[in-house]
Amino acid sequence: MFDPEKGERVCQSCGAVVAEKLEYSENETYPNFGLSKTEHIGMPSSLAQVDKGLSTVIPYSRVDGNGAILNHEQRSNMQRLIRWNKVSTTNRSYHRNLKSAFSLLLRLKDKLLLSDPIIEKAAYYYRKTVELKLIKGRSIKGFIVGCVYIACRESGALRSIDEISDAVDTDRVFAGKCYRLLLRRLRIKLPEIDTRTHLTRIANNAGVSEKSLRKAAELLSAIKDNPITYGKAPNALAIAVLYGACLIQGEKISQGSIAEAANTSIVTLRKRLLDIRKVFPEVPASLKI
């Protein structure tokens, strides 16, 4: 009989301990964990690692598993095995490419405060990019930006392609080309951007009152299906609606401060505000900066 608490095999007749090693069959469970043998209890595998966290690591040691000291010939063999193990994991351009790309991915994770699921999804898309050989002749940074932006869009995270491009110091135009190429070749259909999420973020950054924010949400719900919003950037539309709500409520806020909170220009704000006034004539025409 196996005792899972003590990790011993005990004879049912006399009670003698037959074995003290932690030996498990397929139907037995690990002590204090409730996990079967087929379940994984080590470090979780990750697509954001070159080897997915499943590679074999041979440590430098002068003793074997039983604690016996290795002789000179055995140490030479171990050093040779360690060397070829390292060479075998870095001798392909595929592995070197993933190593460079995932280092950028981890840098983006720290700079943009991205979650682990977003990083895993971006790493999955980048692996698909390498498998389809889309990376040949193109920049690694551009495809990393495209993969991260797609992962953020699917997860509902508010990260613009300009923000991601600045974080890795790459060209935004080329990153946009890589992003569109990924959508076309991987056949990805992204969900529509919810403008209300931009509305809340801009209001918090600009310090807009809750009263004006609720009025802006009402205006945005009413204008959502209007043809005048088709083709407009969600960020620009959100800032125009929010500023129009502030004018209706009489809240004093400058165009420069609200444009800076939305990371856009005053010219864009004014253009979208003219569109908003066509639908809501009650928005005042005051354009004071």
Q: In what order do the strands lie in the sheet with 17-19?
A: 2-3, 8-10, 17-19
Question: In degrees to the nearest 10, what's the CA dihedral of 112, 118, 123, 126?
Answer: -80
pLDDT of residue 31: 45
Nearest Cα to Cα of residue 238 among 229, 226, 227, 247: 229
Assign domain 195-279 one CATH number from 1.10.472.10, 3.40.190.10, 1.10.10.60, 2.40.50.140: 1.10.472.10
Q: What is the DSSP letter of 70?
A: P
pLDDT of residue 287: 46
Residues 6+ apart with CB under 8 A from 130: 94, 97, 98
pLDDT of residue 6: 62
pLDDT of residue 89: 65
Residue 162 CB burial class (10 angstroms; 0-12, 13-18, ≥19): middle
- The phi and psi torsions of 147 (rounded to 5 degrees) equal -65, -40
Query: Is the CB of residue 233 less than 8 Å from the CB of residue 162?
Result: no
Assign domain 93-186 one CATH number from 1.10.10.10, 1.10.472.10, 2.60.120.260, 3.40.50.620: 1.10.472.10
pLDDT of residue 141: 92
How many Cα atoms sit within 13 Å of 111 on the Cβ side?
15
Domain boundaries along the sequence of the chain? 1-42, 49-91, 93-186, 195-279
Judge if 93-186 and 195-279 fold alike in CATH terms: yes
How confident is the prediction along the chain (289 residues), in pLDDT tens digits per residue?
776 656 677 887 777 887 765 444 434 444 444 545 445 555 677 787 777 776 677 777 777 777 788 888 888 888 888 887 777 666 677 778 888 889 899 888 888 888 888 999 999 999 999 989 888 888 899 999 999 999 998 887 878 888 899 888 888 899 999 999 999 999 988 887 777 778 888 888 888 888 888 888 888 888 877 888 787 888 888 888 898 888 888 888 888 888 888 888 889 888 888 888 888 887 776 544 3
pLDDT of residue 234: 82
pLDDT of residue 177: 92
Relative to beta strand 8-10, strand 2-3 is antiparallel
Query: Is the CB of residue 107 less than 8 Å from the CB of residue 148?
Result: no
Instruction: Read off the tokens for 68.
Output: 């016996």
pLDDT of residue 209: 87
Query: Is the CB of residue 111 less than 8 Å from the CB of residue 105?
Result: no
